Structure 1
Amino acid sequence: MSVPAAYLAVVLVWSTTPLGVQWSSQGLSPLAGALSRMFLAAIIGWIAARLLKVVVPWHRQAIKTYAVSNIGLFFGLMSVYIGAKYISSGMISVLFGLSPIASAVMARFLLKEPPFSLAKWMAILTGVSGLLVIFSQDVAFTERAYTGFALVGVGMLCFSLSGVLIKREATTLHPLAQTVGSLTLATPLYLLAGMVFGLEVDSPQPRAIAAILYLTLFGSFIGFFCYFYILKHMQASSVALVTLITPVIAISLGVMLNGETVTENLIIGTAMICTCLLLFYWGDLLLGRIGLRVGRISN
């Protein structure tokens, strides 16, 4: 598989996952939906691994990699599933739009990357300001909504941390093996969490069942396979740049398919977060060109 094709697949999957998470919890508890998704995806993964003759190892280093992956797959996704009951699918994607910044900050300390430049600090300030603009609309955000934002924010940080730590491990595992091993480990973790917090199933709607099946095949199996594949061939912060595209698509899908409302503050805040990502990755080049032009004029 080519890296661009895998990257496009991740963009499409991440754009549709927030809406799928919301729909999959209609008629059953969030953890019941998540457990169903992980269990079915693990089964599909094992079948694929057997057909393709890919060995899924369980030595110490492999288990460590699966555990690191589950910082995002279990802790992160569980937080998103619970938080999705309180905020729109578009807002979930907007919050995850800050994951490149979170990944870069974590990589700065965990991977010993160079200190941030002026452009990157400007980007971080712009991103935080974008969130404040969104939060400032008190009419649209109740106390339950703030709870949802907090949970999804924790989920975003867990995904970012997981990606950075996977890069630090420099794993040599086959992406399919890493996907299957991570899903296999995630299944009992979700089962245990469900036994503690509840696995209620109350006549799930057909749309919920369809969403679970979609998330099983695309959101979990294909999505995580492509994610681990591009993570193996690209920098963690570059992989997280997928979230520059997904908010616009996710918000559009939420409006068209889920009847969600787009407020003025949401549009402005989302635009600021996208600007923040552009500044973070290309701000140094832009400032360099501006500085060069100013120098020529002064001469």
Structure 2
Amino acid sequence: MNALLYISVVVIWGTTWLAIYMQQGVVSVPVSIFWRFAVAAIVMLVVLLALGRLRRISLRDHLFCMLQGGCVFGFNFFCFYHAAAYISSGLESVIFSMSVLFNAINSMIFFRQRPSKNLLPAAVLGIAGVIALFWHDLVATQMAPTLLMGIGLSALGTFGFSIGNMISTRHQRRGLETLSTNTYAMFYGTIIMGVLALVRGDSFMPEFTLRYLGSLFYLAIFGSVIAFGAYFTLVGRIGASQAAYSTLLFPLVALSLSTIYEGYVWHSNAVIGLCMILLGNLVMFSKPGMLTTLPWRKRAA
């Protein structure tokens, strides 16, 4: 079961970055995010009600779901969608892979989990890898503000995603059902983005093109309903740090698609940077016998 969940997360999230890039256009970012999670939340609600799986939760838990919605189904994607205007979707996915480090640090802060001795070398590799990955562009553009904006927004969105991981871990430690909390959180994220769009005076009219609507429904159904459900199920089964293992793989999918569809040009520094980031993520989990105890080989609890 864990293997199937991992494959689903890697393949789907490896392709959603290109779909986010395809959302760029006349529709504002908050409205695009609003429609994405409105569709996803409605689908989740209908399915759970039909199956009798929607669970009631306390007011306090709803407040945490609201926070989760803002972090995972709202402002983090607000950052990612804006970053796609400045850097390629493949590079966004590589920065997102550093959620492994964010999860380790946030687990220490919120759950008093002692950090691994590998955290420092992994962080050094990760930061050095990001610098190497973007070095050619930084030099060529003399550190253009737009490039730095894309990197910063991607990092901020990744941090928001990690905070959402911590809230999901909190839910599951309290015995709350993942699909129900995800559904509530998606609704709250939708409302937050809707209010933001209203305050900004944005039009809620989507773009009626195959490119926009196709990417919208792919992001809503596959990227949100299926992939987030699979990911947060993994968080509950094997923990946030181990679930983040999937980020080792899907950047390779995203960068391959970015090379084909966005014309991303590989330079030697990009290859070195990518290898350093992926190695840093791998170092986070390295331990004796690691290859024989990969998370997808663990039995479900």
TM-score (structure 1 length as normaliser) = 0.88
Q: CA deviation at 1:115?
A: 4.0
Q: Judging changes above 3 Å, is the alpha-carbon distance between structure 1 residues 181 and 202 closer, same or farther for their aligned structure 2 residues?
A: closer
**Is 1:173 matched up with 2:176?**
yes
Is residue 2:190 matched to residue 1:187? Answer: yes
Cα distance, 1:190–1:229 mapped onto 2, change above 3 Å: same
CA 1:204/1:9 → structure 2, altered by over 3 Å: closer, same or farther?
Answer: same
Q: What letter corresponds to residue 37 of structure 1 in structure 2? A: R
1:192 Cα shift? Answer: 0.9
| Percent of aligned positions that are identical | 24
What is the aligned partner in structure 1 of residue 294 from structure 2?
none
Residue 206 (structure 1) aligns with: 210
What residue in structure 2 maps to residue 143 of structure 1?
Answer: 145
Instruction: Confirm or deny: 8 A CA contact 2:94 2:251 kept in the other structure.
Output: yes
Of 165, 168, 172, the residue aligned with 1:163 is: 165
Name the SS of the counterpart of 1:173 in structure 2: coil
- Alignment pair present for 1:106 and 2:91: no
- Further displaced range: 195-204 or 7-16: 195-204
How big is each residue's C-alpha offset from its partner over 1:206-254, in whole Å with a ceiling of 9 and x where there is no partner? 2111000101111111122112211111111111121110111100011
Match status 1:263 vs 2:257: no
| Shift in Å, 1:265 | 2.1
Counterpart residue number, 1:277: 281
Distance 2:135 2:264 in 1: 19
2:35 corresponds to 1:32 = no
Q: 1:268 to 1:39 in 2, by over 3 A?
A: same
Distance 1:147 1:258 in 2: 19
| Structure 1 vs Structure 2 CA RMSD | 2.0
Structure 1 unaligned regions, length at least 5: 287-299
Label 1:222 to 1:85 Cα distance change in 2 as closer, same or farther (>3 A).
same
Moved over 4 A (4+): 200-204
Q: CA deviation at 1:10?
A: 1.3
Aligned to 2:155: 153
What does residue 254 of structure 2 align with? 250
CA change 1:264–1:66 in 2 (3 A) is same
The residue correspondences of 1:285-296 to structure 2 (distance < 5 A) are: 285=288
AA partner of residue 260 (structure 2): M
> Over residues 172-199 of structure 1, what are the superposed CA-to-partner deviations in whole Å (9 max), with x where a residue is unaligned?
2222212211111111101011123353
Question: How far is the alpha carbon of 1:202 from its aligned partner?
Answer: 7.8
May I ask how many residue pairs the two structures share in their alignment? 283
Q: Which runs of 5+ in 2 are unaligned?
A: 290-301
Per-residue Cα deviation, 1:13-45 (whole angstroms, up to 9, x for no partner): 211111111112233222221111011111111
The answer as to 2:218 corresponding to 1:218 is: no
Match of 1:294 in 2: none
Amino acid of the structure 1 residue aligned with 2:20: V
Contact 2:88 2:262 in 1 (8 A): no
State the secondary structure of the residue aligned to 2:288.
Answer: helix
Does structure 2 conserve the Cα–Cα contact (< 8 Å) formed by 1:31 and 1:81?
no
Give the Cα separation in 1 of the matches to 2:162 and 2:110: 12
Task: Between 267-276 and 200-209, report the one with greater CA deviation.
Answer: 200-209
CA distance in 2, matches of 1:198, 1:264: 44
Q: Calculate the TM-score normalised by the size of structure 2.
A: 0.87
Which residue matches 1:121?
A: 120
Residues in 2 aligned to 1:230 and 1:279: alpha-carbon distance in whole angstroms: 20
Structure 2 counterpart SS, 1:136: helix
Q: Quote the offset at 1:89 in angstroms.
A: 0.5
